[in-house]
Amino acid sequence: MRLIPAIGLAGVGYALAVLFLAASTVLMPMGLIATRVRKGDLADRLAWVGLLVMGLFSSLLVLTFLRDLLLLLLEVAGMADADVTHATAVGVPLLALGVTVVGFFNARRTARVVEVEVPIKDLPASLDGYSIVQISDVHVGPTIKRKYIDAIVNRVNALEPDAIAVTGDVVDGSVHRLAPHTAPLGRLAARDGTFFVTGNHEYYSGAHEWIAEMRRLGLTVLINQHVIRERDGQQLLIAGVPDYTAHLFDASHKSDPQQAAAGAPDNVAVKILLAHQPRTAPAAADAGFDLQLSGHTHGGQFFPWNLFVPLQQPFVAGLNRLKNLWVYTSRGTGYWGPPKRFGAPSEITRVRLVPAK
């Protein structure tokens, strides 16, 4: 309604614009609740439309605010006029639509592979180049289905990793509804195994049922636990903790890096922790881990939400250092909500251990 008068719409154009605004008030919440109140293809279609509109309106909101700020500055400078007011009003929805279209294609393509080298002090030669492929925040749900997951699994397996880490938020829905679409995860193959830790969305979707399903698919679920893998007598520890907020849903799932590392041999060369949220890092550093693999943030997914992530998390994306701990935060392999990524591309991450120089 801030834009329509300045654009100069009248008659049918005005009526259509107002109708679209009215429809959006129903469609946007429908994007989040359609599959909860209905079943089948109709619910998925309603979710698709609602989430696309939500993505568009998110950009409209931000760009409208920036336009108002620009017009205010021009007014103060004595440079505002009717032509500028009209041109910017037309430009905002066009730019919002363009960002949404580009963001859609970015979100729907198969995630690219991001190569990351993590320098480890005194890394044994037998562990030099040890590779862990991480996927995170896939969010199987109304717009992400089996075909999308199949493409991810094919790309991960082609990398022939030593281990695979699935760092939470795989699903948005029940096992009953989504098991056929998560089934391709059972094809993930790595020499030392595929490991899974819960994210907050698993707890919204029935965490215990999903833990059982992941185990049925052949993934090793780590709940404050660890496993030991060995190369030529040199040991590597892979541990996992539940989501940072898991105790709010199940007290027995309280995230505890100290417990995850408890009982490990004294001569372990490298300790790696899988933890959905980056804010587990201080506890992981205190527990003596060398590397933490996390997700959750989506790198902000699209502007301006990346600006808000630091209000909750210590890291938004990429490789960061906290004391003696390296923390890698994935931007996510899928997306949540609107099928839209802009400035925060999805990723499949191949982490390689290398000696620190």
Rounded CA-CA distance 244/27 in Å is 32
Regarding whether 190 and 98 lie in a shared domain, the answer is no
pLDDT at 41: 80
Regarding whether 126 and 86 lie in a shared domain, the answer is no
C-alpha closest to that of 21 among 49, 46, 57, 71: 57
Which residue type does 160 have?
E
C-alpha closest to that of 48 among 106, 108, 2: 108
Rounded CA-CA distance 270/121 in Å is 9
pLDDT at 92: 96
Regarding whether 251 and 184 lie in a shared domain, the answer is yes
Rounded CA-CA distance 260/274 in Å is 10
Regarding whether 58 and 187 lie in a shared domain, the answer is no
Sequence-ordered strand ranges (E) for 241-284:
270-274
How far, in whole angstroms, is CA 104 from its chain's centroid? 15
Residue 308: give its domain's CATH number: 3.60.21.10
Q: By three-state DSSP, how is residue 231 classified?
A: strand
pTM for the model:
0.93
Q: Which helix (H) or strand (E) holds 43?
A: helix 41-76
C-alpha closest to that of 288 among 115, 121, 164: 121
Regarding whether 116 and 221 lie in a shared domain, the answer is yes
Residue 94 structural domain: 4-108
Which residue, of 91, 108, 125, is where some domain finishes?
108
- Give the total number of structural domains in the chain: 2
Which residue, of 108, 124, 156, is where some domain finishes?
108
Digitized pLDDT (tens) for each residue of the chain, 357 residues in all: 789 889 988 889 889 988 988 999 988 988 888 877 667 788 888 899 999 999 999 999 999 999 999 999 999 998 889 999 999 999 999 999 999 999 999 999 999 999 999 999 999 999 999 999 999 999 999 999 999 999 999 999 999 999 999 999 999 999 999 999 999 999 999 999 999 999 999 999 999 999 999 999 999 999 999 999 999 999 999 999 999 999 999 999 999 999 999 999 999 999 999 999 999 999 999 999 999 999 999 999 998 888 889 999 999 999 999 999 999 999 999 999 999 999 999 999 999 999 998
Regarding whether 141 and 67 lie in a shared domain, the answer is no
Regarding whether 130 and 102 lie in a shared domain, the answer is no
Regarding whether 137 and 19 lie in a shared domain, the answer is no
pLDDT at 38: 67
pLDDT at 133: 98
pLDDT at 40: 73
pLDDT at 303: 83
Regarding whether 138 and 67 lie in a shared domain, the answer is no
Which residue, of 66, 91, 108, is where some domain finishes?
108
Regarding whether 321 and 174 lie in a shared domain, the answer is yes
Regarding whether 182 and 40 lie in a shared domain, the answer is no
CB of 171 within 8 A of CB of 243? no
Regarding whether 216 and 75 lie in a shared domain, the answer is no
